[in-house]
A and B are shown apart, each in its own frame.
Chain A
Amino acid sequence: MKINKRILKSIKTLPPFPVTIQKVMTLAGDPDSSLTELAAVIRLDQAITANILRICNSAYFGLRRPVDNVNDAIMHMGKKNVLRAVVAAGLTRYFRSTKGYDVKGGDLWEHAVAVALMSQICAARISRPDDPRLFTAGVLHDIGKMVMGEFVHEAWQKIQELTESQKYSFLEAEEEVIGVNHAELGGEIALIWKFPDEILKAIAFHHRPDLLADGDAVPWIVYLSNQVCHVMGIGVGTDALAYRAVGDVAGRFGLKQRDLEDMMAQLHKSLQDARELVSIVSAPGKKGRG
């Protein structure tokens, strides 16, 4: 893959990955770490602490009583959910409106959360353990768009010509015109941010899991979840439904069309429960899609 210098330079303008999340990811993965340690790390970052309390009180996490401090939140949620809430709280800063895809920051965030939620619904459906990598990969899968946006904007006319014929997917048009697609670019960002290899792969191949040789299910689950969210029109922009189905994801996971429909119905409920989580990055005046 050849990324031109302007794009590489643009990647470097992204704010660095929050140290707090790095630490929490490490601690949450360490069976010997204590909840007190976790709380201590989180409390050091005020912005994340404020967001995390809002997120924890979302119906999605099912707390019986509202919490007003990090210690209580962690006590009641358990490590896995703390990790989810911290990842969400720390990443909102990257979700800005982007030209090119013509989508608001709040919509991109809603899409990211929807894919993360759908990944969990999908994992449950195919009887896989609740893998914390899925949530992180789901939220971050489109991070490349934050950098790609201005290049898509510049090349908009050419991209539109290619996709309107329906012979090119948006991804293929990005590759043809810009030389790299937003998924690969997301992989580059994940590399700079020193993400574990499995998460990097899930981001970089979220439209093309068929190109990966190994059999890890995570990229396929993220792919499936993302396709469904595009089909449903959740937080998507000009690229909307201009994506291609690849491989046999139905056969791979033993899913029928009806499973897919049921998962869509479940996502509708999950998104309602996660309203507070979604509204952390606000998209004024725009609700409801499909």
Chain B
Amino acid sequence: MADLVVGISDLKVSSNPADSMITYALGSCIAVAVYDPAAKVGGLLHYMLPDSTLDAAKAKDTPGMFADTGIPLLFKSCYKMGADKKRMIVKVAGGASILDESNFFRIGQKNIMAMRKLFWNNNVLIDAEDTGKNVNRTVRLDMSTGKVYVKRAGGQPEEL
């Protein structure tokens, strides 16, 4: 079994059932895992920021950095490998925040909102979600089953 590590601002897609994709220590960032059970094609994105208008050059160079460039690229990359939007299962995790009444550090909340808006506008339903709170999460997508596991810091992996 090959472990494909998805770094921050990165995404990977695969059609190999022997693969397993993993992304570590999500704080305010969000992991989007998609999987088409019929085509057995899936992908994992780890984006960091909500909005690519922040820096057009970075968005072009590293589209996985932003929700609005990373998520479309994740879906398109899966389509190229034979996935179909109607069949795709979408699971998300991350978007945590520190204890902050001033909201200045609440980048996690902004990341969650950006993702929901994007999915809503494109008629994509989120099948499972573990977002918010102040925990760190590690996310794994098993390509042979399409199952997604979330491990919180100090805990055991649990299926999402």
| A binding-site residues for B, Cβ under 8 Å | 102, 160, 166, 169, 227-228, 230-238, 240-245, 248-250, 255, 257-258, 260-262, 264-265, 268-269, 286-290
Contacts and interface: CB of A to CB of B under 8 A. Distances in A.
A102 B155 CA distance: 11
* Most chain A C-beta atoms within 10 Å of own C-beta, residue among B96, B101, B104: B104
A145 to B, nearest CB: 15
B105 A245 contact: yes
Given A102-B154, A230-B98, A240 B27 contact: yes
A258 B55 CA distance: 11
A265 B54 contact: yes
Nearest to A249: B104
A240 B135 contact: yes
Given A233-B136, A265-B65, A227 B105 contact: yes
B25 interface: yes
Nearest to A238: B154
Nearest to B6: A288
Interface string B15-48: 0000000011111110000000000000000101
B8 A240 contact: no
22 contacts: A166-B133, A231-B28, A231-B108, A233-B28, A233-B96, A240-B27, A240-B96, A240-B153, A244-B98, A257-B107, A260-B105, A262-B54, A262-B55, A264-B49, A265-B48, A265-B55, A268-B48, A286-B24, A288-B8, A289-B26, A290-B26, A290-B46
Contacts of A250: 102, 104
Contact of B98 (A231, A258, A268): A231
Contacts of B98: 227, 230-231, 241-245
B145 interface: no
The binding surface of chain A is classed by DSSP as loop
Nearest to B110: A257
B55 to A, nearest CB: 6
Contacts of A288: 5-8, 10, 23-24, 46
A234 B100 CA distance: 19
B97 interface: yes
Given A231-B98, A232-B48, A240-B136, A245 B104 contact: yes
Nearest to B107: A231
Q: Please give me the 4 A-B residue pairs with the lowest Cβ-Cβ distance, nearest first.
A: A288-B7, A233-B27, A290-B29, A289-B25
B25 A245 contact: no
